[in-house]
Structures are given as C-alpha cells and as structure tokens.
Structure 1
C-alpha cells in the first residue's frame, strides 16, 4: 500500500540555511503518501551529545542519522526517517533528528529556539538529550522551554494572561510527552542515602526552591515550565557506551563491543518509546496521518518565515479546511469507484439502482467521517451530500440512456417483420387491421420475455406503441371488412388504451419521484446518524483532553502543597474549577441535540429541487 513507506535512509525535512528554514518538497511528498496514523518522536539537545545514535536505534538500524565524529555539529535543520512501527502494523513511526542546540559556530539562540519549538509542535513524544547530570547547569541549558509561550500561541484571541504559565492547560492539549535522556551518567541513583528510580531522580531535580530572589526565580522557571507543559514525563539515564577513544566509531561497533549496561539501557529506552508513544494528535483529538503532518510542517515553517508566531487554533482551522476538502474528494472518489464496479450490468429497476447507491454512499460517508474534523458548520458534509446526490442523478440518467438504447434496439429487432409488412402495405386489405393488432401483440409478448432491458423497459415499449398509433389508425380506416360502427368502437378502444398508457407513464414518473424522495430521506437520516456518532466520539476526545488538563493541574497543585507553595497552589484552584465547569458543558446532551437540529436544516437545504419537483 502507498501508506506504508519504507525509507532506506533519512531525508532532510526542514533545512536550516542562512538562519532561515526551508521545507524539502521531496520529504513532504514522502509524508503525504503515508495514510496511516503517525507516531512522531523528535529528539532535541545540545550538539555532540549523541542524539542521532538513539534515533538510529529507534529505527532499528546501526546507522542512518549521521553521528559525526568531530566537535562540529553534524545535523543541520531537522532530518526525518519514516519506518514501520515495530509493534503496530497500522501505524508509521516518524523519527525527527534535530540540529544540535548551542552550536558555537552558529551563534544564533533565536534560531535554536525555533528548532526546539518545531520539535515540540511536530512530535507526539519529545526526547531531550543531555550529558552528565540534571543540575543547575542542565536546567540553564534548557532555557528553550521557558520561551515556548513566546514562540507558540494556543489561541488566536489571547486573553489578558495569554503567554503566562496560567495558560499552560491549553498547551497541554497539543504538547508531546516528555522524555529526559541523561547520557554518560556516572552517579549513583540515590536520594537522601536511599536508592531511587530514574523518574524519582527527575522529579527531585524539578522541585521548586522557596524564596523570591532573582536566583530562586531563575532556577524555578524551567522547572515550573516542564512541570506544567509536560505533565507526562519520563527519565532515562545511560552509562558511557564505550571508552572515549572509541566513541568516533560508535556506529561501526557491535553491541558485544559496547558496555553491557549501556546496551540494556538503550533497549529499555526503545521499548518504552515503542510502547507508550501515541500517534500525533491535534486539539480536538484528531489523529494525524502523514499527509496532515506534511501540512503541519509546511504551515509552521511558513509562519516562522513570515515572522509570525505559530498559533495552534488558526493552524487547526486552516488544516481542517484542507483536510475536509480532501475528505470530500476522497469520499467522492470512493463512491464513483464502487458505483462503477457495481453498475457494469444495468439494474432492472430504479429501486435496485437506489439500493446500490445507498451502499456506496454509506462507504463514502465512512471515508469522509474518518478524515474530516472541525466541520462545525457541516459545510463539507453538506457539500459531500450534494455532490453524491448529483452523482446519483447522473448515474440514473446514464442508466436510463443505456436502458433506452438496449430497449430501442430490442424493439427494432422484434418489430422488423411488422415494419416490413407496413412498408409493403401488407395490412391494406380486408382483415388487415386484426392481423396488425395480432402482430403488435406478438411484439409485446416477445419483448416481455427478453431480460436485461433495464429500468426504461416499460417506458420504451409504451412509447413504441404510442408511435404506432398513427399507423394503426390509418390501417383501421382502410380496412373495408369493418363497418363504420366497428371502426368507431375500435378507435374508442385504442384511444382508451393510449390514455391508459399515458396514465401509466405518469404513474411511473410519480413512483420514480417518490422513490428518489424516499432515498433522499434515507440519505438525510444516514448523514445525521453518522454525524451524531462522530460528535459523540469527538465529545469523548474533548473530555479526555479536559481530564488530561485537569489531572495535570491537580498533580501540580498537589506537588506545590507538599513543597509548601500554598500561594501557587491556590492560584491553580480557580483554573481547575473553570476546567471542570467546561467539562460539564461538554457532557450536556442538549449540546449535541442542538447541533444535530442545525445540521438537519443545513442538509435539507442542499436538496430542495427534488422536493419542489414533487410538490409541483
């Protein structure tokens, strides 16, 4: 399948050239071919700290991302490697190796900040790679995390406190999980003389210091940001892989040549990433596939190019427009594909054709619902509804034309002898009219016995008999074997038959309108039902996001209380109250009912012609 991309080597996704970022079209094309959900793991950290080695291991390879063997930074920009997820065949693992931060040759901290921001925005799991220990120096190097609210906006209309830590809950909606990888760790994992876990070591390092001095605030700032922005976090420590003189040939060495403890630590790290890293999502819980990730990359880089601060709310709305439009095209394509497969033989009745249409429309709706998101006004679903109804009408017309063509050809063949006799004046004799009527009856009987005529079978035979009325009337008047009274009676009978045929054609047309109206009612109900199901799923996703934010606030509040920061904890209380109130509003059933009623009016408005035709 096109969605399963197997890249033998990484490619440059975002090039960092002359302190500007450029997206590589080839990389976007590769991403756009991935239709599966993507699990995006990005790694950031100072240059020459071994980031690429870990990413190669996640790819299941010894080499790929360049490790470099000098004091110069090797990776420039952001490189991408898409590989099959080792534990989930229905997902693709996208690995992003970023340019090393703090490169002395670059001397541009702003450029480094944007690298960090892009890694945060694009990933579902962010790995921060550092050397040594988590101490004050390590925290100082992670100043990028304190600048996130300056480089990312969660909403297009900022509140009074927008950009402050008080708004961190909004960022939790779309920020990745956080892993701190501490390389060349040489200390004993102990706290107060007792053994501790790596996670306990991290949490202890993130404890806030009491005091209001500038030094205390400088220390607390990155700790507070990590605690608030990344409530889901993990720590791994790694021994030195080998002695210093062999580090330059690390990617050439077999695992048996490396320190056994280091090999085991890398395996545990990879296992954790594979098991816990979720597919990338955007606010609202919509799962990102390769195409959507490509759009995200392009959108963010364009914003940075234009000097804008990436705004998640605007980005999601812009992506929704693109994705929903593509979803309409995909659903329409699927419908046409299925209809073409199933209509190789013309249906015998309109009911049969509408039954086929209903099944194909159902599959098309499933395709649309799987990809569409934030179609709050149901603009795109209504567009799809109208397009499919127009396609259905086109298939009905096409089917009628094909059926008419077959029926006319059949009637021409069956009435050939009749036409020959008319042309030779065979019926212009006494008793000729009765013979003519018998031959007409034979044509009808033979016609009825033929199969594969399609939905125009009755209409075409009725039209054939209508066309014969003038000929029949002339033969009747020329038949001297009949009295004038008999001719008058026969003429009355034929006129009555003609009137009955006309009435039958009108009844068929009325039945066709009613069948189509019934199909549109079915389509309307199906669209409403699918929309209701999607809204309920979206509500569950929203509640999950809300719970995630509430949980992060409660977790931070508890930690602050335990550390004696009562004032900080009190500030969180109102935020938690507002989040819970918002959750209650999301849970209300009348929220969905109101939207479904509005959607029903929108959907009905795209199909007025048929209803007006019926009334007329």
Structure 2
C-alpha cells in the first residue's frame, strides 16, 4: 500500500466502512499486527504513524488548528521485523474536536480503535496530570460501548477482568514534554512516571473515589502499559512544516525517543488475536471491521463473542472451500492417468485428503461441533465418489474398446462353419484373451468386462461347437464343460476384483475415520491451549495488580481483587470442565458413527462373500469413499 486509505468513514456523525479498504484487507492473507493511535486532535498522532510506516509523509499532519484526520485511516506496510506479517497502522480522528461537538461519536471511534488493535497508542501533550487522565473519559464508557459475551454477565463476575483478556497493549506517548523526570529528587523512568500518575489515593471520600475511578479503569482495562515522553521536535516557528523537515533538522533527543518508540512497537506489539487466542489475517480483520461498524450503525452495542462467531463462520466456510480445492488439485495428476488400479487411486486419495484436512485445520477455528470439518469430509467424499466412478467408467471403456479391437482383428466371422471350426475358433478366442490380459493399465473393471465378454460370446461359441461335424457328441460335451469351467473361473476372478476393491474401500474409510478423529482432537487441544495461555496471562496481570495494591496500602481493594481472582479461577475451572464434557460427548458421537459405518461396510462385504457369483449390484450399492463424518 503506497499511501493510507480511509477504512471507516465518519460523515455527519455516521460511521460506515469504505469498500475499497475492506477489499484490500480481503486480499491480505498474512497475519497482522495492528497499531492504533488515539488522542485529542492536533496533538501529532499522524506524525507517529508515519514514523512507524518508516515514511516521511503519508498520514495527513496538518499545520492549522483544524483536525485533518476524519474517521479511521489505514496504512498496511510490511512488518519491519516479523517476516510474512503485515503491520496495519490505524490513525484515528482526533478526540474532542470542537467542530464536531459529538462526544458519542468520539466514544465509538475510541471503542473501534480498541476492538481492532493489538497495541493502542494514546497520544497527549504536555504532562500526565489529572486533567490528562480525565481526558481519557472514554475508558469509563467502554462497558457500555462493548460487550464481551452475548449473554448478560452478572456485575459480580467482574467485567474488567473479561475486558482485560482482549484489550490491546497500552502505550501513552506524551508530546512536548518539558519537565524533569524526578520524584522526591530521584530520577525516574517514563514508565514509572506513568504508574505514579495512575497511583490510587487512599480514603473513601467522594473526591477520592472520583479521583481513583478513572485510574482504576485504566489499570483494569490496560494491564500492559508503557510510556514515552517526547520533547518538542523543533521550534514553534517550524512546527507547521514538520512533515517536510529532514530528520537531521529535528532535535536529537526527539529523534532518540522516536527511534526507541518505533523499536518498542516493532518488537513488542503482538499479532492481533480474538477471544480464544486465534490470530487474525488481514482478511479476517476486514470481516471484524465490517461486523463492528454495521452493528454500531444499527444502534447496537458491538459484542466480541458474536463478532468472533460470525467471523469464524465465514472463515470456516472458506476453509471448507480451500480444503476441497486442495483435494481436487491433489487428484488432478492421477485423474489424467485414468484408468488406474484401485491401490494407486486410493493412495492418491488418502494423500490428497490429508493435505486438504491440514489446509482446513490451518484456517479454521471455533468449529466446536465439527460442523465444518464434517462438511469438508462430505464434499471430499462426494468428489472422490465421482472420481472413483470416472475411473471405473474409464476402465470399462478402455477394456471394452480393447476387446472390440482385438475381436475385429482376431475373429473372422463366417470362417468357423467348417469341420474343425470350433478348434480354430477357440485358438482365435484364446489368443484374444491372452492379448487382452497382456495389455497393461486396464484399471479396476478388467476382469468384470472380460467376464461379460465371455458371457456375450457364449452363445456364439456354443453354436459353433454344436455345428462342428468333426467332433463327436462326447467331445462336444467335454468342450462345453471346459467352457463352463473357464467362465466360472472368470466369474471368480471378477469377484476377487470386486472384493479387493471393496476391501480397499473399507480400509480407506478406516484410515479416513481415524485421521478425522485425530485431527479434530488435535484442533480441540490446540484451541484449548490457546485459551489457557490467554487466561494465564490475564490472571498473572491481575495477581500483579493485587500485589501492587497491597504494597501501596490499599488493603481493602487488594482483598476485593483477591476474592475476584478466586472467582475467576473457579469460573474458569467450571468452564473448562463443561468444555471437556462437550468435547467428550462429541468424540463419543463420532466414534459411534465410525463404528456404525464400519459395521455397515462389513455387512455388505459379508453379503458379497455369501453370494456365489459376486453380483455387480451389491458393489454398486457401496459408496466408494463415504466418510464417517458425513
């Protein structure tokens, strides 16, 4: 992307997505790291984003008192340090624009920045004082602007804790900072400066509670915090041409802080994830933007759980299509060789099926009841059924054409109605069969087509035998018995051919069933581990917050947080137990389906074996690759 483009348009207080930007994201298959910048208008947010893009210009800086950025603008650039990742920079409309006069609109812009980013940069000017903290008023409104779950959550369960699990890392950048970083004549770091500014006061008065409330919100919602203090980049007279100034013209200290800030963002900003720990591609990010903005436009509150489920459905449907395409591509080479024997076709089928499942698993997530994996299995089964039929048809056609050509060359009609004609006929006939058997790569219908050929020639053979005056009646009976024995042997050969095909089908189904069950178990385990890691990170931050409160004399708040942590652990244990039970039920259901499918296949096999002549209709009733997950 050569320059930024508008992602979310803000026109007359109404938000809507820009189709061009969404289409761009739809084509972005790489994992994304999303960095948003928010803050009051005319505080230099766009300069920071251009710096992160490693460009001198791009996002509009502006040199007047008017806000330049409207809505949310996006710039996608290759990540400087993460190979095959895209850095998505979101520059948001300035908060508190007097020309706008709509704080609700500001709150939605702020909420969208949080929902979409993995790192949120809050940009302010001067110092982190009480006024600067209070200007982050939109943090207070987050529980009204964003829902975590679709069901109503009891207040006692701690909404802050739930929010903490998905909120981005928080970076506070203070521009035009002129103070000394000292407390009680002791030098401190920018991070310590931020933490000191967010320190809670002891006491229970209304004034103290009001003072603490905003800080508690920031501490609860943004457990990962970082601070950078920037001196003024240049003299006030030069600020209007900041975007055109060479780096060398900026103050050395400003450049040092800017470089440190960029390195931190590049190295510490994590990939964008959603509830459950699933990482997003640009395409999935675009789906989220659509869902959130459409929800806001309808006057509803964005719900993370619903948005993720909607995105998962779209992704899983696409994963089914992608998996089937992988299977079809994998079968193209063997399809070009039709007819082939059943083992060659089966080996290609199983290999392509494995590749298709792996492609599906790589893209899918939250397929908790296996609905989409089953859809893929059914699609593959239907396609493989068609391929196996095409292979049979190709084999049948090749074998019939071969016998027809051999018969035309080797059988001379009208030349066998002479004494000794039956022997001549048998020699020609046996020569055709020998040449037919010697022909390679006839496919899966070779014996069956030959059986039908012999049956079709039976009347002709018997007529020539009976008309041959050179043979005695006893010799004719002997020859008739030999022919009958040969036909029976061919029936047995055709039966063995069908039996081998059915046995391979049963084996294919067994392998497929085991593979699908294994893949599903591994996917469930992977997602469970992702969720547990996400939960552990949140719990660790919560426990650190409790420790800090205790060390700073807030015993009552620390005790309340300790009780909250216990409740969090208890709730997590119950949720994990419920999920484990659901997964056990699902796996048991799939195992029963597998057992039922196996029993059905074995019943058909017994039916085939109990028939004396291996009837074709039994084989035709058997699906070539019917999968257990259908």
Q: CA deviation at 1:458?
A: 2.6
Structure-1 residue corresponding to 2:474: 485
Q: Secondary structure at the match of 1:94?
A: strand
5 Å matches for 1:537-556? 537-556=526-545
> In terms of mean alpha carbon deviation, does 529-538 or 460-469 score higher?
460-469
Q: 2:521 aligns with which of 512, 529, 532?
A: 532
Structure-1 residue corresponding to 2:37: 43
Q: CA deviation at 1:115?
A: 0.1
In 2 relative to 1, CA 183–522 (structure 1 residues): closer, same or farther, beyond 3 Å? same
Matched, 1:134 2:128: yes
Q: For residues 454 and 365 of structure 1, what CA distance do their matches in structure 2 show?
A: 28
Matched, 1:367 2:356: no
Q: Deviations over 1:59-89 (max 9, x none)?
A: 1111111111111010110011111111112
The unaligned stretches of length 5 or more in structure 2 are: 608-630
Matched, 1:273 2:262: no
Matched, 1:353 2:342: no
2:447–2:490: 8 Å Cα contact kept in structure 1?
no
Q: CA deviation at 1:303?
A: 0.7
5 Å matches for 1:185-584? 185-346=177-338, 348-419=340-411, 421-422=412-413, 425-582=414-571, 584=573
Q: For residues 213 and 322 of structure 2, what CA distance do their matches in structure 1 show?
A: 47
Matched, 1:78 2:72: yes
1:546–1:579: 8 Å Cα contact kept in structure 2?
no
Structure-2 residue corresponding to 1:24: 18
Q: 2:109 aligns with which of 110, 115, 119?
A: 115
In 2 relative to 1, CA 149–599 (structure 1 residues): closer, same or farther, beyond 3 Å? farther
Q: CA deviation at 1:426?
A: 0.8
Q: CA deviation at 1:346?
A: 2.5
Structure-1 residue corresponding to 2:621: none
In 2 relative to 1, CA 283–350 (structure 1 residues): closer, same or farther, beyond 3 Å? same
Q: Secondary structure at the match of 2:549?
A: helix
Structure-2 residue corresponding to 1:4: none
Q: Secondary structure at the match of 1:284?
A: coil
Q: Deviations over 1:505-562 (max 9, x none)?
A: 2332232222112111101111111112212211211111111121121111112112
Q: Deviations over 1:479-505 (max 9, x none)?
A: 111111221222222223223322332
In 2 relative to 1, CA 341–94 (structure 1 residues): closer, same or farther, beyond 3 Å? farther
Q: CA deviation at 1:593?
A: 4.7
Q: CA deviation at 1:456?
A: 2.5
Q: For residues 238 and 339 of structure 2, what CA distance do their matches in structure 1 show?
A: 75
> In terms of mean alpha carbon deviation, does 313-322 or 140-149 score higher?
313-322
Q: For residues 383 and 534 of structure 1, what CA distance do their matches in structure 2 show?
A: 16
1:428–1:478: 8 Å Cα contact kept in structure 2?
yes
Q: Secondary structure at the match of 1:462?
A: helix
Q: Secondary structure at the match of 2:59?
A: coil
Q: Secondary structure at the match of 2:435?
A: helix
Q: Deviations over 1:204-251 (max 9, x none)?
A: 111111223333222212211111111111111111111111111111
Q: Secondary structure at the match of 2:56?
A: coil
Q: For residues 50 and 599 of structure 2, what CA distance do their matches in structure 1 show?
A: 59
2:38–2:93: 8 Å Cα contact kept in structure 1?
yes
1:40–1:94: 8 Å Cα contact kept in structure 2?
yes
Q: CA deviation at 1:161?
A: 0.6
Matched, 1:8 2:2: yes
Q: Secondary structure at the match of 1:286?
A: coil
Q: For residues 494 and 555 of structure 2, what CA distance do their matches in structure 1 show?
A: 84
Q: Secondary structure at the match of 2:204?
A: coil
Q: For residues 99 and 608 of structure 1, what CA distance do their matches in structure 2 show?
A: 64
1:154–1:170: 8 Å Cα contact kept in structure 2?
yes
Q: CA deviation at 1:615?
A: 6.2
> In terms of mean alpha carbon deviation, does 591-600 or 66-75 score higher?
591-600
Q: Deviations over 1:573-609 (max 9, x none)?
A: 2321233345556777965555432343466779998
In the alignment of these two chains, the number of paired residues is 605
In 2 relative to 1, CA 610–318 (structure 1 residues): closer, same or farther, beyond 3 Å? farther
TM-score with structure 1 length normalisation?
0.94
The unaligned stretches of length 5 or more in structure 1 are: 1-6
Structure-1 residue corresponding to 2:60: 66
Q: CA deviation at 1:460?
A: 2.4
Q: For residues 229 and 283 of structure 1, what CA distance do their matches in structure 2 show?
A: 15
Q: For residues 257 and 590 of structure 2, what CA distance do their matches in structure 1 show?
A: 54
Q: For residues 594 and 121 of structure 2, what CA distance do their matches in structure 1 show?
A: 46
1:346–1:399: 8 Å Cα contact kept in structure 2?
yes
Q: Secondary structure at the match of 2:83?
A: coil
Q: For residues 330 and 34 of structure 1, what CA distance do their matches in structure 2 show?
A: 16
Q: For residues 446 and 244 of structure 2, what CA distance do their matches in structure 1 show?
A: 77
Q: Secondary structure at the match of 1:310?
A: coil
Q: For residues 91 and 603 of structure 2, what CA distance do their matches in structure 1 show?
A: 60
Q: For residues 323 and 55 of structure 2, what CA distance do their matches in structure 1 show?
A: 38
